[in-house]
Amino acid sequence: MKDLTKTNNPYGDEKVFDACSIFGMMNLKGERFSAKDPVRAIANMHDRGNGLGGGFAAYGIYPEYKDDYAFQIMYLDREAKKKTDRLLSESFNILNEEEMPTQEANVRDPPIMWRYFLQPKNSRTKSQAADDYILEKVMRINTETGKAFVFSSGKNMGVFKGVGFPEDVAEYFCLEEYKGYMWTCHGRFPTNTPGWWGGAHPFNILDWTVVHNGEISSYGINKRYLEMFGYKCTMQTDTEVMAYAFDLLMRRQRLPIEIVSKILAPPLWSEIKTMKPENELALRALRQTYGSLLMNGPYTIIVAHEGEMIGLTDRIKLRPLTAAEKDDFLFLSSEEAAIRLVSPMLDRVWSPRGGEPVIGRLESRRAVEVIA
Interface with another protein by CB under 8 A: which residues? 12, 14-15, 17, 19, 44-45, 47, 191, 214-215, 217-221, 224-225, 227-229, 253, 255-256, 258-259, 262, 268-271, 275-276, 278-279, 281-292, 294, 296-298, 315-318, 320, 322, 335-338, 340-341, 349-351, 353-354, 372
Q: How far is the CB of 186 from another protein (least distance, A)?
A: 17
Q: How far is the CB of 275 from another protein (least distance, A)?
A: 8
Answer for the pair 251, 206: CB distance below 8 angstroms, yes or no. yes
Distances (CA, A) of 277 to 257, 280, 370: 22, 5, 20
Residue type, 320: P
Q: If you count them, how many residues does the chain have?
A: 372
Q: Distance between CA atoms of 196 and 199, rounded to whole angstroms?
A: 6
Answer for the pair 208, 184: CB distance below 8 angstroms, yes or no. no
Sort 47 into a burial class: Cβ within 10 Å, 0-12 / 13-18 / 19+.
Answer: exposed
* Active site positions, annotated: 20
Q: Which is nearer to another protein, 328 or 336 (CB)?
A: 336
Element (DSSP H or E) covering residue 184: strand 182-190
Terminal-to-terminal C-alpha distance of the chain: 42
Q: Distance between CA atoms of 64 and 75, rounded to whole angstroms?
A: 25
Q: How far is the CB of 321 from another protein (least distance, A)?
A: 10
Q: How far is the CB of 265 from another protein (least distance, A)?
A: 10
Q: How far is the CB of 280 from another protein (least distance, A)?
A: 10
**Shortest CA distance to 239 belongs to which of 190, 208, 201?**
201
HSE of 339, CA atoms in CB hemisphere, 13 A: 25
Q: Which is nearer to another protein, 115 or 262 (CB)?
A: 262
**Please, which residues bridge with residue 22 across strands?**
186
Q: Which is nearer to another protein, 204 or 334 (CB)?
A: 334
**Contacts for 248 with CB less than 8 Å, ≥ 6 apart:** 226, 229, 231
Q: How far is the CB of 176 from another protein (least distance, A)?
A: 18
Distances (CA, A) of 286 to 32, 80, 251, 264, 370: 38, 44, 17, 10, 17
Cα dihedral sign for 333, 358, 214, 209? negative
